[in-house]
Copies of this chain bind each other. A is one copy, B any other.
Amino acid sequence: MKVEDASLMTPAAWRERFRTGNWHRPTAGLALGYAQANLVILQRELAYDFLLFCQRNPKPCPILEVTDIGCFEPKLVARGADLRTDLPKYRIFRNGQLVDEPSDIRSYWQDDFVSFLLGCSFTFEGALQAAGIEVRHITQNRNVPMYITNRECQKAGVMQGPLVVSMRPVPASNLVKVVQITSRFPAVHGAPVHIGDPQALGIVDLALPDMGESVDVKAGEIPVFWACGCTSQAVVMAVKPELVITHAPGFMFITDLSDQGLAAF
């Protein structure tokens, strides 16, 4: 497929393509303008604690949709889609251990599954770029640097753990604009949780992220930290549930929601 064709494909067309199994690359840059989502599938017995954890910690865990029990169609964000087949790659965790990375989870599906779709920072990064603000890890073609902080999330039942943040360096002259733009997108982590001194979050060395890759911070740039979706995955895995299914990192679910439709106003 030529790049110019790909840029015209709708979210539904992409999901159809993933369903056929012949796509093996991450989803970044596909269906530009449409929100992509993190996927966490849990058994019903853990769903209440996880839903409450997300409610209490909306910045790291912004919910776009929670499906009905046993239902694999995300009716609110992508009517007609099938969460068992419409992502290009999944991860299967048994008792907290990664056991498989299939492109189809129909053989794993259970009637007591509840699927959580959580907002992804691709949306606000698109808004930043549209405003002419460089997003360093995209420029450097790296994964965003992520750090485990010294801030505990609000606990909910068995779900607990530290806040994980992502970091993007911003020239001081753009700080106000960056806060304003990302504040408009509470459904995708929203405003930063911290600006400046990494040590205030318990981060010793920006060059040594806990996940992802480090990026250059140039003279005159301030590190800006956002709540990160990895928080919820870390919290779930710590419980070592019998069975959990997630998207594979970078292989997201593409929704029918437009990025701009997610703006708070």
Contacts and interface: CB of A to CB of B under 8 A. Distances in A.
Interface stretch (A51-59, A120-128, A221-229): A51-59
Interface in A190-221: 191
Interface residues of A, number: 19
A155 to B, nearest CB: 9
Interface in A67-88: 68-69, 76
Interface in A172-204: 183, 186, 191
A133 B156 CA distance: 40
Contacts of A76: 56, 154
Contacts of A265: 183, 191
Nearest to A65: B56
A154 B191 CA distance: 28
A40 interface: no
A30 interface: no
Contact of A183 (B52, B68, B264): B264
Interface string A35-66: 00000000000011001100110000001001
Nearest to A191: B265
Given A48-B47, A48-B48, A76-B154, A264 B186 contact: yes
A51 B55 contact: yes
A57 to B, nearest CB: 11
B66 A55 contact: yes
A156 B69 CA distance: 10
Interface in A145-188: 154, 156-157, 183, 186
Residue with the greatest number of chain B CB neighbours at <10 A, chosen from A47, A55, A157:
A55
A116 B47 CA distance: 18
Given A51-B52, A56-B76, A186-B264, 11 more contacts: A51-B51, A55-B55, A55-B63, A55-B66, A68-B157, A69-B157, A76-B154, A183-B264, A183-B265, A186-B186, A191-B265
